[in-house]
Structure 1
C-alpha cells in the first residue's frame, strides 16, 4: 500500500537512509537549481491544481537501485502529501522494465519533482551498479573494493552510500576522518620518516595513519613506522606481489591507480587487502530510469 516518504524510503535494504540533516541541503540545492525563480512555468500553465495521478518509476536497464532517500525527499519537499510504494528499494537488483516505485498524488507536484528525482536515482544507481560489477569480478577473494574522494562536489555522502549499496567499501570520506600522507606531503616534510613521526605525534588515539608510496624502496622505508595502512600507488602486478611479501601482514595494503574492470581480478590475486577505484564515482554512467503515467 502507498506510504509516506519516511516509511517508504527506509524499505528495501539493511543500509538505512542518510539522515535528513545530510540530505536536505543537497536536495534543496537540486530543486532550487531546477525551479529557479519562477517555478515550473510549463506545469503551471497546463495542469489544473486538482488533477491527481499515479506514476511508475521504472528501470530501463538492469542495475542496482540507489538514491531513493534523496528522490523521495525531493518529492516530499515539493508536496508532503505524495504517497510512495517501493517495489525495489535501495540495494535491490533490477532488470529492464522492473518498477522501482509508484507514486500517487498531485500531478502538478509530481511533474515539478520528476527530473530531480530521476537525476538522483539515475546517477546514484549508476554508481551502485558499476561498483557491483567490480565487486562481482573479485567475489570470494577477500579484497575490499573501495571508493575514493573523487566525487561530485556536494554529492559525496550520497555517492559514497551508493558505493556501499553496490557492495563496496570506502576510503576516506574527507580530510578529517583519517590521515593519508601523500607524495606531496612527503616532499614537503623531507622524508618518509619525518612525515610519519609528525603524523604519529599529532594523531589522536583513534586516528588511522596511511602513507602512500610509489616504489618498493619507499615501502621498505615506511614499514618500520607501522602505519595503519600503506597505499601502493600505480604499482605493477609484479611489484604488488613483492610488496605483499615484504609487508608479511604487518599492515593493511591498498592498491590504487590504473585499476580497470579488465585488470581488477589480477590485482586482487596479488594478495592486497583493498583496491581503491576513483572511477566508481567519477566515471560511472547513470542508470537509465524513467517515470511513466499509469
Structure 2
C-alpha cells in the first residue's frame, strides 16, 4: 500500500508543484484541516495521518474509521510546511473520499439486511491498483472483503469451467490438485449443477445471476435432499438495494455485490489552510 501511495504522489507531482513553488514561501508553516461536505462512513483516516506524518506534517485525529460523519464535521487537522501540505492534498483527499464512499456503500447494504443473518461481501471488481484500499474500506463499512487476491482461495468461475468441462469436473479437479487448507468455491447457473457441487463437498456454491425464485428452488431442493448443510450458499449478480432483502430472506449465507466497489460514489471532502 505504501508503494501504491508513492506512485500516486509521483504521478500527481510530475516534475514538481510549480504553482506552490512559485507563490508559497519555501519555509512557511501553516495550520490546515480536512472537513466533510458529505454524509456517510469515514474510512482511511489513519492512512492519511500516516501519509502526512511521513512527510513531516503533524496530524491530529478528530474522528476514527467507521464513525458516521455529517456535513461540516472536522476530520483531521495538520500543522507543517505549506508546500508539503499542498503537495499531498489531492492524493490524500482522493484516497480518503474514495475509501469513505466504499465504506458508506457497504454500510448501507449491511444495514439493510442486519436482521437476516446473511453476510454482505464485496468482490474483486475494484479500481486497478487500489484494491487493497477498497477491501479495507469494505471491512470498515461492515462488509466481508471476500478474496483479496487470487491466492486466497479457489474460486471456479464460468471461464474456468469453459476451459475445463462441467462444473462438477472442475470441482473434482480442484479438490485433487489443491491443498486441503484452501477453501473451494464454485459458480453455478443451474439447479442440477448446484446439487452436484453441494453433494461433492464444495465449501461455497455461488448461485450466479439467479432470480429469487430460482434461488428458492435450489435451496428447497438441497433441503429436501438433506445436503443443504454441506456448503455455504452465496448469491451474486446484479443485486441492488431494491432486491437485496428479497434474496436475504430466502436463507442464503452470503450476498456478494460488485457495485460496492465498482460503482460506489466517493464522498466529498475538502482540505483548507487557515
Structure 2 length as normaliser, TM-score?
0.95
What residue in structure 1 maps to residue 106 of structure 2?
Answer: 131
- Give the Cα separation in 1 of the matches to 2:95 and 2:168: 44
- Give the Cα separation in 2 of the matches to 1:165 and 1:50: 38
Task: Give the total of aligned pairs.
Answer: 269
Q: Which of 162, 173, 191 is equivalent to 1:198?
A: 173
- Give the Cα separation in 1 of the matches to 2:149 and 2:221: 30
Shift of 1:53: 1.1
Cα RMSD over matched residues? 1.2
SS at 2:100 equivalent: helix
What residue in structure 2 maps to residue 20 of structure 1?
Answer: none
Q: Which of 175, 178, 184 is equivalent to 2:153?
A: 178
What residue in structure 1 maps to residue 246 of structure 2?
Answer: 266
SS at 1:189 equivalent: coil
- Give the Cα separation in 1 of the matches to 2:168 and 2:106: 36
Q: How does 1:93-242 map to 2 (within 5 A)?
A: 93-242=68-217
Q: Check whether the contact 2:201–2:231 (CA below 8 A) recurs between aligned residues.
A: yes
- Give the Cα separation in 2 of the matches to 1:34 and 1:132: 31
What residue in structure 1 maps to residue 225 of structure 2?
Answer: none
Alignment of 1:33 with 2:26, yes or no, is no
What residue in structure 2 maps to residue 66 of structure 1?
Answer: 43
- Give the Cα separation in 1 of the matches to 2:84 and 2:156: 49
Alignment of 1:88 with 2:63, yes or no, is yes
Q: Which moved more, 1:183-192 or 1:114-123?
A: 183-192
Shift of 1:83: 0.7
What residue in structure 1 maps to residue 34 of structure 2?
Answer: 57
Q: Check whether the contact 2:43–2:140 (CA below 8 A) recurs between aligned residues.
A: yes
Q: Check whether the contact 2:105–2:264 (CA below 8 A) recurs between aligned residues.
A: yes
Gaps of 5+ in 2: 223-227
What residue in structure 2 maps to residue 292 of structure 1?
Answer: 272
- Give the Cα separation in 2 of the matches to 1:184 and 1:155: 25
Ranges of 4+ aligned residues in structure 1 off by more than 3 Å: none
Gaps of 5+ in 1: 1-22
SS at 2:271 equivalent: strand
Q: Check whether the contact 2:202–2:231 (CA below 8 A) recurs between aligned residues.
A: yes
- Give the Cα separation in 2 of the matches to 1:57 and 1:261: 31
Shift of 1:51: 1.4
Q: Check whether the contact 2:99–2:134 (CA below 8 A) recurs between aligned residues.
A: yes
Q: Which moved more, 1:243-252 or 1:225-234?
A: 243-252
Q: Check whether the contact 2:201–2:230 (CA below 8 A) recurs between aligned residues.
A: yes
- Give the Cα separation in 2 of the matches to 1:120 and 1:70: 9
Q: Check whether the contact 2:203–2:230 (CA below 8 A) recurs between aligned residues.
A: no
Q: Check whether the contact 1:213–1:233 (CA below 8 A) recurs between aligned residues.
A: yes
CA shift digits 1:167-220 (9 cap, x unpaired) = 100221111111111122222222223211210011112100011001112112
Shift of 1:293: 2.3
Q: Check whether the contact 1:40–1:112 (CA below 8 A) recurs between aligned residues.
A: yes
